Amino acid sequence: MMEKNQWHPVALSQAVTDAPVPVRLLDEDLVLWRDAQGAAQAFVDRCPHRGARLSLGRVQGGQLECPYHGWQFASSGQCVKVPAVPAFTPPPQHCVKSFGVQEAHGLIWVQLEAAEVPLPVFEAEDDARLRKVNCGPYDVQASAPRIIENFLDMSHFGFVHEGWLGSRDATEMAPYQVENTACGVKATNCKAVQPMSNLHSTKPAEVHYTYEVTAPFAALLTKIPEAGSSKDGWREAIGLFICPVSPTTSRVWFRLAVADFESSDEQLQAFQHTIFTQDQPVLESQQPKALPLDPRAELHSAADRMSSAYRRYLKASGVTFGVC
Ligand code: FES
Ligand code: CO
């Protein structure tokens, strides 16, 4: 499964402190914890001794301790202590399966099978002028690709986000362009008149932006300021990073990179929350839960060019999780 080679977000960095945390990724139960150096670790959440859940245990002296018989595991996964037999030195095969871990964008990322695959790109992260805030997690009863496709979809604004990102009086979509990129697909020249495009909106504004798919379950929205305006050169962005928990359930985060320095984190999160909770019931209603990759399985209009490109990209990439 190619998805196992990809990096997936599994938790907010700040959610993993001194106690083990259970998470689920691609239908596998994992335990996250921090070692003595503060490095995040991800193991199978099943003790190799008698199968207890390691996430019920604790972190003791920089090792993960099983809740059942107190076996301790180092960050390599190696068992280093069997309390019932203190003189025993566990051999190398006494170990628990561990996975690749990285921290970026305020999140912990896990790769289930080692491969030379980069994290999904998010250029706005490196723009020191922009403020970064995470929103989520949202636990959603929908497949990861359905959620990505919803994020890329502009023709629902006037209906799902009426009075916020669109209105029923202006539902016609201007043509936009779609191209393939090195890591996914990109829609440029997207335009929408939005009654309430952000927290500070006082009147409708035309917003120009691009959408990019940067990995099977990661997407970006970048706002393109008007040339010559005071915001020329700024690239505010929203990253959508999804953990594919099961083929029909997902955990979702947004990473905002914004030029708003007045609002509190809570205010920025509340705006995003309002928008996403408008999407959520519709997303959770979609059937089938898996995203159909056969173009004949659902109907399309010219406005769906980006969603069709995303489906072709998933198919060409060999994605099988959450698609049909
Ligand atoms: Fe984990 Fe026995 S089941 S130490
Ligand atoms: Co929406």
Tens of pLDDT, residue by residue over 100-112, are 999 999 999 999 9
> Six-digit token pair at 317?
């990439």
Give the CATH fold of the 2-111 domain: Rieske Iron-sulfur Protein (2.102.10)
| Cα 56 from Cα 20, distance rounded (Å) | 7
Instruction: Return the pLDDT at 133.
Output: 97
- Max distance between CA atoms of the chain, in angstroms, equals 77
Domain over 131-317 is classified CATH 3.30.565.10: no
Instruction: Return the pLDDT at 268.
Output: 96
Q: Which residues of the chain have a pLDDT value below 70?
A: none
Ligand 1 site-directed mutation target among 53, 55, 71, most atoms within 8 Å of CB? 71
Instruction: Return the pLDDT at 6.
Output: 98
| Cα 78 from Cα 73, distance rounded (Å) | 5
Ligand 1 site-directed mutation target among 55, 63, 69, 94, most atoms within 8 Å of CB? 69
Nearest residue by C-alpha to atom 2 in ligand 1:
69
* 82 C-alpha to ligand 1 centroid (Å): 9
Instruction: Decide: helix, strand or coil at residue 77.
Output: coil
Instruction: Return the pLDDT at 233.
Output: 80
> Six-digit token pair at 5?
């080679």
Q: What is the pLDDT of residues 175-222, one digit of tens each?
A: 999 999 999 999 999 998 888 888 888 888 888 999 999 999 999 999
> ipTM, 2 decimals?
0.98
Instruction: Return the pLDDT at 196.
Output: 84
Instruction: Work out the number of other CB atoms within 10 angstroms of the CB of residue 323.
Output: 20
| Cα 181 from Cα 171, distance rounded (Å) | 28
* 71 C-alpha to ligand 1 centroid (Å): 6
Bridge partners, 249 (sequence order)? 246
Residue 223's alpha-carbon distances to 74, 98, 100, 172, 258, in angstroms, are 45, 39, 33, 20, 10
Q: Given the CA of residue 67, which atom of ligand 1 is nearest to it?
A: 1
Structural domain spans, the chain: 2-111, 131-317
